[in-house]
Structure 1
Amino acid sequence: MAVTPGQPRIERFILVYALAWAGGAIAYTPFLTLLLPERIADLLGPARAVDWLSGIAFCGAVAASAAHIAFGYASDITRNRRGWIAAGLVLSSAVLAIFPAVSGFWPTIGVVVLWQCGLNMMLAPLAALAGDVVPDARKGLLGGALSFAPALGAASGALVTWPGLAASDARPAVVAGLVVACLVPVLLIRLPRPPGGQPDAATGAGQADAEARGRNRKVVVRMWLARLSLQIAEAALFAFLYLWFRAIDPSLGASGTAIVFGAVLVVSTPVALAVGRWADRHGRPLAPLSACAAVSAVGLAAMALSRGTVPAIAAYGLFGVASSVFLALHSAQTLRILPRPDRRGRDLGFFNLTNTTPSLVMPALALALVPTFGFAGLFATLAGLAALAAVLVPRIRA
Structure 2
Amino acid sequence: MHTVTPDRPHHQQQSLRFLMLYALAAAGGSAAYAPFLTLLLPVRVTGQWGAQGLEILSYTAFAGAVAASIANIVFGWLSDRTRNRRGWILAGVFVSGVLLVAMQHVETVASLLAMIVLWQVGLNMMLNPLLAWAGDCVPDEQKGLLGGLLSIAPALGAFTGMIITYPGLAGGDTRLVLNAVIVAAMILPVVFFGRPRPMPHLVTAMHEEGRPAEHAKDEPVRRMWIARLLVQIAEAALFAFLLLWLRSIDGTMTDNDTARVFTVVLIASVPLALVIGRWSDKVDRPRLPLTVTAGGAALGLVALAGAHTGPTAMAAYVLFGVMAGIFLALHSSQTLRVLPRPGTRGRDLGIFNLTNTVPSLVMPWIVLALIPAFGFQGLFLLLAGLSAVACLLLATMPRI
Equivalent residues in 2 for 1:247-262, closer than 5 Å: 247-262=248-263
- Shift in Å at residue 206 of structure 1? 2.8
Query: 1:210-262: CA deviations, max 9, x gaps?
Result: xx76xx11110111000000000001011001111111222120001100110
Q: Which amino acid aligns with 2:163?
A: L
Using the TM superposition, name which of 153-162 and 26-35 deviates more: 153-162
Q: Is the 8 A contact 1:283 1:397 kept in 2?
A: no
- Shift in Å at residue 345 of structure 1? 0.2
CA–CA distance in structure 2, aligned partners of residues 242 and 194 of structure 1: 46
Equivalent residues in 2 for 1:294-305, closer than 5 Å: 294-305=295-306
After superposition, the Cα gap between the structure-2 partners of 1:357 and 1:27, relative to the gap in structure 1 and judged at 3 Å, is same
After superposition, the Cα gap between the structure-2 partners of 1:66 and 1:309, relative to the gap in structure 1 and judged at 3 Å, is same
After superposition, the Cα gap between the structure-2 partners of 1:313 and 1:100, relative to the gap in structure 1 and judged at 3 Å, is same
Count of residues in correspondence between the two structures: 391
- Shift in Å at residue 6 of structure 1? 4.6
Query: 1:5-50: CA deviations, max 9, x gaps?
Result: 954x5222111111000001001001001111111111111x2101
**SS, match of residue 250 in structure 1:** coil
- Shift in Å at residue 155 of structure 1? 1.3
Query: 1:32-75: CA deviations, max 9, x gaps?
Result: 01111111111111x21011111111111100000000000000
Q: Which amino acid aligns with 1:289?
A: L
CA–CA distance in structure 2, aligned partners of residues 177 and 51 of structure 1: 30
- Shift in Å at residue 397 of structure 1? 4.1
Counterpart in the other structure of 1:111:
115
After superposition, the Cα gap between the structure-2 partners of 1:345 and 1:373, relative to the gap in structure 1 and judged at 3 Å, is same
After superposition, the Cα gap between the structure-2 partners of 1:333 and 1:244, relative to the gap in structure 1 and judged at 3 Å, is same
CA–CA distance in structure 1, aligned partners of residues 29 and 313 of structure 2: 31
Identity %: 53
- Shift in Å at residue 159 of structure 1? 1.2
CA–CA distance in structure 2, aligned partners of residues 39 and 389 of structure 1: 38
Q: Which of residues 153, 165, 168 is equivalent to 1:149?
A: 153
Query: 1:267-305: CA deviations, max 9, x gaps?
Result: 000000011011101111111101000000000000000
Q: Which of residues 94, 97, 107 is equivalent to 2:98?
A: 94
Tell me, yes or no, if structure 1 residue 62 matches structure 2 residue 63: no
CA–CA distance in structure 2, aligned partners of residues 327 and 313 of structure 1: 20
Query: 1:78-127: CA deviations, max 9, x gaps?
Result: 00000000001000000111111111011001111110000000001001
Q: Which of residues 186, 190, 193 is equivalent to 2:190?
A: 186
CA–CA distance in structure 1, aligned partners of residues 239 and 314 of structure 2: 14
Q: Which amino acid aligns with 2:348?
A: D
Equivalent residues in 2 for 1:226-265, closer than 5 Å: 226-265=227-266
- Shift in Å at residue 208 of structure 1? 5.8
Q: Which amino acid aligns with 2:290?
A: L
Query: 1:320-348: CA deviations, max 9, x gaps?
Result: 00000000000000000000000000000
Using the TM superposition, name which of 248-257 and 373-382 deviates more: 248-257
Equivalent residues in 2 for 1:150-169, closer than 5 Å: 150-169=154-173
CA–CA distance in structure 2, aligned partners of residues 387 and 357 of structure 1: 19
CA–CA distance in structure 2, aligned partners of residues 134 and 254 of structure 1: 40
- Shift in Å at residue 202 of structure 1? 2.4
Q: Which amino acid aligns with 1:24?
A: G
CA–CA distance in structure 1, aligned partners of residues 84 and 291 of structure 2: 35
Tell me, yes or no, if structure 1 residue 22 matches structure 2 residue 38: no
**SS, match of residue 201 in structure 1:** helix
Structure 2 unaligned spans of 5+: 3-9
After superposition, the Cα gap between the structure-2 partners of 1:301 and 1:207, relative to the gap in structure 1 and judged at 3 Å, is closer
Counterpart in the other structure of 1:50:
54
Tell me, yes or no, if structure 1 residue 201 matches structure 2 residue 202: no
**SS, match of residue 166 in structure 1:** coil
Q: Is the 8 A contact 2:213 2:340 kept in 1?
A: no
CA–CA distance in structure 2, aligned partners of residues 276 and 327 of structure 1: 12
Counterpart in the other structure of 1:377:
378
RMSD across aligned positions (CA): 1.7
**SS, match of residue 163 in structure 1:** coil
Q: Which amino acid aligns with 2:293?
A: C
CA–CA distance in structure 2, aligned partners of residues 49 and 352 of structure 1: 28
Q: Is the 8 A contact 2:203 2:343 kept in 1?
A: no
Counterpart in the other structure of 1:40:
45
| TM-score after normalising by structure 1 | 0.95
Tell me, yes or no, if structure 1 residue 326 matches structure 2 residue 327: yes
Counterpart in the other structure of 1:173:
177
Q: Which amino acid aligns with 1:22?
A: A
